[in-house]
Amino acid sequence: LEPTDCWEGHPYLFINYTFPGMLPGKPPFRLSHLETSPDRAWRYGNEGGVPASQIINEYGWLWLNRDGSPTTMTDGLYQSLLGPEATVAQRRELFSRYLAALTEYWRSRRTCAGVQHFCGLGYSRPTEPRGQTSDHFIDMEKLILEPTFEKYVRDAFMPVGVCIDYWKEELTSGTDTMDVPVIVINDLGKSWEGKLTLSLLQGKRTLWKKSMNMKVDAVGKETGRFDVKIPADPAAYQLIAELATVDGNTVRSLRDINVVRCNLAQGKPVTASSSSSEARS
């Protein structure tokens, strides 16, 4: 490649559930691995430098057919992450949440020229001969998207977006606080100013909530940091970051966290349910 060439990046982090040899030496991917993943996409077998003028246009490897069944490429992934008894609703939730998180991650790195979803309109073959990929429509005549996909992935692609840049899936009770960076990105051609709110929930109950004002230059990003006290009670919790947009809508980023007792926190698997200035709350 020449330095001025545009390059198409395919950072399929979940590919090793299907083809372990494609990412040799790497364990089956989990979102918690994003803490140590490179900020750039890469060519398989070469994690070295790639041109800045790259477009990430394939990155999920999470496909579900329109009926919610896995494709030939994702049978093993959903079997491993959710088990053989997983429902359509559970698979759609995991797919949508994970794709939204990956979209937030790559957009907020600001190391590529663009992030495009694959694929918006394609095909779906849940019966033989089964397909490898699929789009996300449940009604092709009316072009109705699957609601869970629309709920989560819509926010991940908003021009002014938010990313909880905190990827731990498990924490130990009795420890103190977690330092939670929240990135706000602005792909508009003008500056954006508004309120960023981070909340910690257990179920529908809000345990902690703080806000700060953010200002982001055109096509820029800023990071707000929050010190969040880790709950003492072992349970499932959720972090939610929210931006109020000028049209009255809310853009959100979500992360699920399990808090476990110290003697239970050793290596247990968890099932899914840049340069910038920083502010701290």
Which H, E and C letters describe 219-243, residue by residue? CEEEEEEEEEECCCCCEEEEEEEEE
Phi, psi of 92 (to 5 degrees): -65, -35
C-beta separation of 70 from 78 below 8 A: yes
Q: Give domain status of residue 97, yes or no.
A: yes
| CATH, residue 263 | 2.60.40.10
Q: How far is Cα of residue 260 from the mean position of the Cα atoms in its chain?
A: 23
Tens digit of pLDDT per residue, the chain (281 long)?
676 778 888 899 999 999 987 777 788 999 999 998 777 665 544 445 665 578 999 999 999 999 999 999 999 999 999 999 999 999 999 999 999 999 999 999 998 889 999 988 999 999 999 999 999 999 999 999 999 999 999 999 999 999 999 999 999 987 889 999 999 999 999 999 999 999 999 999 999 999 999 999 999 999 999 999 999 999 999 999 999 876 778 999 999 999 998 765 454 544 444 333 456 55
Given 136, 156, 176, which residue is the final one in a domain?
156
Of 35, 1, 33, residue with least CA distance to 14? 33
pLDDT at 36: 85
Please tell me the total count of domains within the chain: 2
pLDDT at 176: 84
Q: Give domain status of residue 77, yes or no.
A: yes
Three-state DSSP class for 281?
Answer: coil
Same domain, 29 and 146: yes
Given 156, 190, 210, which residue is the final one in a domain?
156
Given 131, 156, 181, which residue is the final one in a domain?
156
Phi, psi of 34 (to 5 degrees): -65, -15
pLDDT at 247: 73
Q: Give domain status of residue 1, yes or no.
A: no
Rounded to two decimals, the pTM is 0.89
Q: What angle do CA 276, 54, 216 make, to 5 degrees?
A: 25
Domain that holds residue 118: 7-156
Phi, psi of 133 (to 5 degrees): -130, -175
Q: Give domain status of residue 267, yes or no.
A: yes
